[in-house]
Amino acid sequence: MRTGDLPSDAPGHYRESHPRPYYIPEQLPVSAPIDVDAGLASTISDATFQLGRIDGISPTVDFSPVLYTSLLRLEAVETAEIEGADVEMDEVYAYHTRREAGDAGRVSRDLREVLNAERALRDGFDAIRSGEPISLELLKSLHGTLLEGVRNEGDVVAAWRDSDVHIPSPRGGRSPFVPPPAGIVPELMESLESYIQMGGEHHPLVDLAITHYQFETIHPCSDGNGRLGRILIVLQLHEAGYLSDPYLYPSAYFNRNKREYVEKMRAVSEAGRWRDWIEFFVEGIEAQARDSYERTFELLELRREYDSRYPGRKTSHTLARNLLELPYFTARDVTERFDVSRQTAYNAIEELETDGLVVEVTGQQRNREYKAVDVFDILERAPR
């Protein structure tokens, strides 16, 4: 599609260049009317309800800090996976367990991407919670964190890109999408920042869909746009009052629906199909909030079940009920956390291992590591 081919309600235009035209989105606010019909209003209501459920139940459970960390790491794994990283949740927990023991060992590039995403999301959320506004400087700082130790040659880090980028189409035979030239990225991002800081013009979830589209269409960074854009979603949900902590991991939805995600945004660019994009986006927020709630409830039920295990066997009981806080551990962790002898720790671990609550994962005779089977089953299971 070339310059002049777009309908009048498209929120931007193509500018001729060689070999492919740039797409230049209009600055926010969107000039075309955003029609929230009954169907879309119902979708927004459902998402709002699910966000309220997860934000309501999470602070009431006695493992709230662990839930915060677990869901944050789920988001980090999913967001890195979209970019091609292949890391399992237990690898992330293994790293943190070994690091605390002073022996993190070699970190693969894929794992580094996940750890960077975890740190960037945590840092961003802490900044917003402390009263810092969502700003371009904050986003640039988080971008630097995301690419620390994993930058490619030519990447511009903690700053906007200085060259063109091309986004391949998920549909075979279709031309790549070319975001605006680097020279106009700063002014487009300043417009986006102003729109976010002024509170937008629509329902917060509608504005969230609009600003996510705008960010990804501008594609301001040479790499890491997707990861940074998905962090921005969580920060905006907190700023809008929906999340007190990052209990939502939106990347999983976009990961499951990659093609639709890209094509619906392109349909906005070329045909002004805002409603379809907003509905898709808000359905994703609703689905992930519901999934977070269900996992939280399953973990709560698991804690209640473990509370009744091993009566009269203090260390085994204590370890079982603390598996949510200690889902990946060593015997040393048990001795230090519960102030017991090494032999007492081994006895408790062996009892839980015999009963299938934990499993040894290294296959070694020394420096053995264990993970809580049921906890990881809940964290790693596919969405229902």
Q: Per the structure block, which two tokens stand in for 143?
A: 């971008």
Give pLDDT, residue 65: 67
Helix (H) and strand (E) counts in the chain:
15, 5
Across all residues in the chain, what is the average pLDDT?
90
CATH number of 12-297: 1.10.3290.10
More confident residue, 350 or 156: 350
pTM of the model: 0.92
Cβ atoms of residues 118 and 190 within 8 Å: no
Residue 157 has pLDDT above 60, yes or no: yes
Confidence bin at 129 (pLDDT 50/70/90): very high
Residue 3 has pLDDT above 60, yes or no: no
Single-letter code of the amino acid located at 350: E
Residue 102 has pLDDT above 80, yes or no: no
Cβ atoms of residues 195 and 29 within 8 Å: yes
Mean pLDDT (whole number) for 226-245: 94
Mean pLDDT (whole number) for 29-55: 95
Q: Could you give the CA distance from residue 152 to residue 223 in angstroms, rounded to a whole number?
A: 8
Mean pLDDT (whole number) for 106-130: 91
Confidence bin at 185 (pLDDT 50/70/90): very high
Residue 2 has pLDDT above 60, yes or no: no
Per-residue DSSP letters for 220-257? Answer: -SSS-HHHHHHHHHHHHHHHTTS-SS----THHHHHHT
pLDDT in tens, 262-277: 999 999 999 999 999 9
Q: Per the structure block, which two tokens stand in for 98?
A: 């070994």
pLDDT in tens, 186-196: 999 999 999 99
Confidence bin at 13 (pLDDT 50/70/90): very high
Confidence bin at 311 (pLDDT 50/70/90): confident
Give the lowest-confidence range in 101-115, 123-137, 229-243, 266-280: 101-115
Give the lowest-confidence range in 61-65, 121-125, 339-343: 61-65
Total residue count of the chain as it appears in this document: 384
Q: Could you give the CA distance from residue 326 to residue 70 in angstroms, rounded to a whole number?
A: 11
- Tell me where in the chain the CATH 1.10.3290.10 domain(s) lie: 12-297
Residue 98 has pLDDT above 90, yes or no: no
- Tell me where in the chain the CATH 1.10.10.10 domain(s) lie: 308-380
Mean pLDDT (whole number) for 201-225: 97
Q: Which architecture does CATH list for 308-380?
A: Orthogonal Bundle (1.10)
Q: Could you give the CA distance from residue 169 to residue 114 in angstroms, rounded to a whole number?
A: 25
Q: Could you give the CA distance from residue 77 to residue 353 in angstroms, rounded to a whole number?
A: 27
Torsion angles phi and psi, residue 23, rounded to 5: -105, 125
